[in-house]
Structure 1
Amino acid sequence: MEFYAANWIAIIVAAAAGFVVGGIWYGPVMGKKWMGAVGLTEEDVQSGNMIMIYGTAFLFSLIASITLAHLLTYFPDAGLSTTILIAVGVAAGFLVPAIGTNYLFSQKSRTLFFIDAAYWLLFYAAMGTVHALL
């Protein structure tokens, strides 16, 4: 069994890249549409415990980045486009169907599904790009 040496710089930068994508996606790009789809007002969002919310969200991004980095060790010669395709494939093959199933049973709107599904595809594309480049 080969030892897995993690590239912690890539892991942290990739997690941050996904986190930034979320800030842009759920901010200026889809923020108002997302709030309407989940039934929140801007006041509701701002009244949340932002340190806990953003801190935990970044921790989840780190976990995702570590897992993606580990998966990518099985493709040591993958170039930029292949690495991005692998990363997006993880989102398209695992995350999108999982949230889709949850949203079906919890009767969430298609709008919310498409907003969140697109986010996860972009999140993993950003992380894959960083892992490929670093």
Structure 2
Amino acid sequence: MEINFLALLLAALSTLVVGFIWYNPKVFGGIWMRETGMTEESAKGANMVMIFGMSVVYAFFISFVLQFLTIHQFGAIGMIGGDIEHAKPSYAAFMGDYGDAFRSFKHGALHGFMSGLFLALPVIGTNALYERRSWKYTLVTGGFWIVCFMIMGGIICAMK
């Protein structure tokens, strides 16, 4: 099983689409700005090319890890040490039987949801505690990443 870099890139880019919607002032952007102390004036001085570019790079890192959490077949590859050339015939038989099992957007979104809820949200929440951020900030930011992980997981898992 090879890494699908196109799927990882599309998953990473999907975070920008979700972010444009999620952080729109008519959705959660107004709450987020109030909770972070961000103003429209301070936002105008930012280097948006660098911010969006690094956001995609970081999201690509996330998508790289999400493929191992959403695609069960990577577990079989891990069981043989990652080198398919030295795998026993039982590996080929297993992949023949289960090579495309659970490879759907829906299944990837489920694993993305669980990863977002049990990985991203606790990281955001822990940082928010030490940064003295509000529960509103935690829910808006954590919710954003849960939705992103769901979409990313769905894309990665569905694209074979």
Please give the TM-score of this superposition, normalised by the length of structure 1.
0.89
Give me the whole-angstrom Cα distance separating, in 1, the residues matched to 2:71 and 2:40.
42
The one of 14, 20, 25 equivalent to 2:11 is: 14
Structure with higher Rg: it is 2
Deviations 1:88-120 (A, max 9, x none): 111111110111111112210111111001101
What is aligned with 2:36?
38
Following superposition, the deviation at residue 125 of structure 1 comes to: 1.1
Percent identical pairs in the alignment equals 29
Using CA pairs below 8 Å that are at least 6 residues apart, which structure has the higher relative contact order?
1
Give me the whole-angstrom Cα distance separating, in 2, the residues matched to 1:57 and 1:27.
17
Extract structure 1 runs of 4+ deviating beyond 4 A.
Answer: none
Contact 1:100 1:113 in 2 (8 A): yes
Contact 2:18 2:148 in 1 (8 A): yes
For residue 152 of structure 2, give the secondary structure of its aligned residue in structure 1: helix
Contact 1:17 1:127 in 2 (8 A): yes
Contact 1:19 1:61 in 2 (8 A): no
Contact 1:15 1:58 in 2 (8 A): yes
> How many equivalent pairs are there?
131
Give me the whole-angstrom Cα distance separating, in 1, the residues matched to 2:134 and 2:67.
33
Unaligned runs of 5+ in 1: none
Contact 1:99 1:113 in 2 (8 A): yes
What is aligned with 1:65?
63
Contact 1:26 1:34 in 2 (8 A): yes
